[in-house]
Amino acid sequence: MSKSLTPGQATEVIRARLTSLPPETRSIRECLGGVLRQTVMAERDNPPFDRVCMDGAAVSSQAFVDGARHFTLQGTQAAGAVPLVLDSAASAIEIMTGAVLPPGTDCVIPLEEYELADGRITLNSDATAEPWRNIQRRGSDSSPDVPMLLEGVRLGAAEVAVLASAGLARARVSRQPRIRVISTGDELVEPGLPIADHQIRRSNAYAVVAALQAHRYHHVEDDHLQDDPALMRQRLGEHLAHNDVLVLSGGVSKGKFDYVPDTLKQLGVEEVFYQVAQRPGRPMWFGVGPQGQAVFGLPGNPVSTLICLLRYVIPALDVMTAALKLGCERVALAAPVGPRRMTYFMPVKLVRDAQSPGLAMPHAPSGSGDFLALAGTDGFVELPPSPEGYPEGFLADFYRW
């Protein structure tokens, strides 16, 4: 495609050309951050019994209604113990949080509301004993016929706990994509090495790798290629053979030393589109390798690189791993922004206070090379073309770094 696409069109074109990664079975200790590829049903009712939620005394609420304020201590029941059975309405069972509610009782009076002395419980004047007080009823959270987790959810700590509660020692998740981040250019020098006046630090690759890891993609390696066509062909060929995704920074424009597009073509990578009608980041390149590898050529200017990564590459990885598509976060501009002829990506800092929760304060860089302006921002908003500009309060899609 030679015509510049809109960001929405570019997104749909990318999605249509992606290959889903196969699932794999992992120990639940290794599932954090993965995308679930199965529906998880409850092993049994959850909780599996009427569960005591507070340390105290288990009694019959009817005894309290009938006027009882003193109870004989029948015994003590810990969590995990076989439940005792209340022998009479005049008795009480000392009970611990997490224990099974003893049959014959239907209420737990907190220990702060009674005195225990010589095997006898005496209620305070402010004690209450309504039915099911401090008790979580069996099956109130879930039952075996209701899904606990759906396929496509990303597994955080809470979701891993659900897997364990369902009795699963292993679960099916999407295979992590193998990602190679590649920067090109003779002018780039690694941090920590001597640098000449005409050179710049190799920073884009570190930002890209960090952003990928922040979004839970950890099978990431990076490489730096000099502007040498033969060496570039060799190394890009190796990377295509061993990775699912290539993310290149720089070298995709039409300059004399921008060898990447021709090299990729020689290696059998189909150019799907080049250029998106957006600022910053118009020279955005996307292609598909011989085995379905996704190849992204991001603009070399650091602001453009990071914005295009978050706008296109991260969502593409989510599609490849079968993650549920979530609605985009929306925020309101805290200050007006001037008119734009094409889609504009504006870095913002979220303002959170009692007067203006969730407002986005524009934090425009001086240009697409001004990566210092991104420090301290929370992400960027996507502003559609508008000859009139964008007033304070304008609602826009928000992408977090």
3-class SS string, the chain: CCCCECHHHHHHHHHHCCCCCCEEEEEHHHCCCCEECCCEECCCCECCCCEECCCEEEECHHHHHCCCCEEEEEEEECCCCCCCCCCCCCEEEEECCCCECCCCCCEEEEHHHEEEECCEEEECCCCCCCCCCCEECCCCCECCCCEEECCCCECCHHHHHHHHHCCCCEEEEECCCCEEEEEECCCEECCCCCCCCCCEECCHHHHHHHHHHHCCCCCEEEEEECCCHHHHHHHHHHHHHHCCEEEEECCCCCCCCCCHHHHHHHCCCEEEEECECEECCCCCEEEECCCCCEEEEECCCHHHHHHHHHHHHHHHHHHHCCCCCCCCEEEEECCCECCECCEEEEEEEEECCCCCCCEEEECCCCCCCCHHHHCCCCEEEEECCECCCECCCCEEEEEEC
Q: Strand 270-274 to strand 285-288: parallel, antiparallel, or no bridges (unpaired)?
A: antiparallel
Determine the pLDDT at residue 151.
96
- The per-residue pLDDT for 367 is 73
Of 90, 84, 85, 87, the closest CA to residue 64 belongs to 90
Cα separation of 178 and 180, whole Å?
A: 7
The CATH code for residues 24-45+154-174 is 3.90.105.10
7-21+177-320 maps to CATH 3.40.50.300: no
CA distance 207 to 201: 12
Q: What's the CATH fold of domain 329-400? A: Beta-clip (2.40.340)
* 39, 23 contact by CB (below 8 A): no
Per-domain boundaries in the chain: 7-21+177-320, 24-45+154-174, 51-136, 329-400
CA distance 131 to 257: 79
Return the closest-CA partner of residue 101 out of 116, 86, 121, 123: 86
Which architecture, in CATH terms, is 51-136?
Answer: Beta Complex (2.170)
Digit-by-digit pLDDT tens for the chain (401 residues) are 457 899 999 999 999 999 999 999 999 999 999 999 999 999 999 899 999 999 999 999 999 999 999 999 999 999 999 999 999 999 999 999 999 999 999 999 999 999 999 999 999 999 999 999 999 999 998 888 889 999 999 999 999 999 999 999 999 999 999 999 998 877 777 788 888 888 778 778 889 999 999 999 999 999 988 888 898 899 999 999 999 999 998 766 665 556 788 899 999 999 999 999 999 999 999 999 999 999 999 998 889 999 999 999 999 999 999 999 888 899 999 999 999 999 999 999 998 766 655 799 998 887 776 778 888 999 999 999 999 999 999 999 999 99
Residues 6+ apart with CB under 8 A from 51: 98, 99, 100, 101, 135, 136, 138
CB neighbours of residue 333 within 10 Å: 21
* φ/ψ bin of 360: left (φ > 0), alpha (ψ from -120 to 50), beta (otherwise): beta
